[in-house]
Amino acid sequence: MHSDHFDPYVLNVLMPDLVGHDRSPAAFVVYLYLLGKSTRARRDTIVASLQTIATETGLSKSAVQIALRLLKRRGLLDAAVAATVTQPARRVLKPWIR
Does residue 51 register a pLDDT over 70?
yes
Does residue 2 sit within a domain? no
For residue 87, what are the contacts with CB-CB under 8 A and spacing of at least 6? Answer: 47
Identity of the amino acid at 32: L
List pLDDT tens digits, range 65-86.
Answer: 999 999 999 999 998 887 777 7
Number of domains in the chain: 1
Longest CA pairwise span in the chain (Å): 36
Does residue 48 sit within a domain? yes
**Domain, as residue range, for 20:** 8-91
Beta strands in the chain (DSSP E): 45-47, 89-91
Does residue 85 sit within a domain? yes
pTM for the predicted model, two decimal places:
0.87
Does residue 58 sit within a domain? yes
Compute the distance between CA of residue 45 and CA of residue 38 in angstroms, rounded to an integer. 7
The pLDDT-based confidence of 87 (bands split at 50, 70, 90) is confident
- pLDDT score of 74: 92
Does residue 97 sit within a domain? no
CATH of the domain at 69: 1.10.10
Asked if 97 contacts 7 with a C-beta cutoff of 8 angstroms, the reply is: yes
Does residue 77 sit within a domain? yes
Does residue 59 sit within a domain? yes
